[in-house]
Chain A
Amino acid sequence: EIVLTQSPGTLSLSPGERATLSCRASQNFGSSSLAWYQQKPGQTPRLLIYGASSRATGIPDRFSGSGSGTDFTLTISRLEPEDFAVYYCQQYVTSPLTFGGGTKVEI
């Protein structure tokens, strides 16, 4: 099983600041099967990034993904008030598909 470890657990920032979220995998699985999701309280998860760096439909360009192998990063260039949420990484290259534990981005 590929274990995904996200850090930090909580990120306290202000609107307009840059957010950098990390996702580390327990084994190398390339870069084509890593996704990031955003979940706001009481809402369904929303796909942000797939293939480590491709934005899903309708996702603003302030969200960007990078990385390969075992280390991946989600960057939010300038936080907007609606970006305060929990973010999860996920690998979908092999079963069991696994999620990271999440990073909460809070004001």
Chain B
Amino acid sequence: QVQLVESGGGVVQPGRSLRLSCAASGFTFSSYAMHWVRQAPGKGLEWVSLISSDGGNKYSADSVKGRFTISRDSSKNTLYLQMNSLRADDTAVYYCARERVPVVSPLGYWGQGTLVTVSS
């Protein structure tokens, strides 16, 4: 079955960096686009970034553009989110998610999330 397991969250000071990882299993990782979505405490869902199945196309929300970089390593079946210049409003649970089918499709599978807290 599809499994997505995020790691790398924690407490970090404003302005510092953090890299999140998402280990994927149970499907052919290289066939699917992957996403990061975040949810601030008590708030709604915010899409963060998308990477195409081959890694050639990447898209990000304006709120993270220039600071966050999505990437993937198909040899390790792992998705990454490099987060630089972190701000207090980046505090959230970060979910990795897989599209439902390997075409333009919604987020059919989600990890359990990893909490990132940006605080001095």
**Residues of A that sit less than 8 Å from B by CB:** 1, 33, 35, 37, 39, 44-47, 50, 56, 86, 88, 90, 92-93, 95-102
Contacts and interface: CB of A to CB of B under 8 A. Distances in A.
B104 A93 contact: yes
B contact patch SS? strand
Nearest to B112: A44
Interface residues of B, number: 22
A44 B62 contact: no
A93 B37 CA distance: 16
B45 A50 contact: no
Given A35-B106, A37-B45, 9 more contacts: A44-B112, A50-B100, A50-B106, A50-B108, A56-B108, A86-B44, A90-B45, A96-B60, A102-B45
Interface string B74-109: 000000000000000000000100001000111110
Name the 3 nearest CB pairs between A and B, nearest first.
A35-B106, A95-B59, A97-B47
Nearest to A32: B104
B11 interface: no
Given A44-B112, A95-B50, A95-B59, A101 B107 contact: no
Contact of A45 (B62, B100, B105, B107): B107
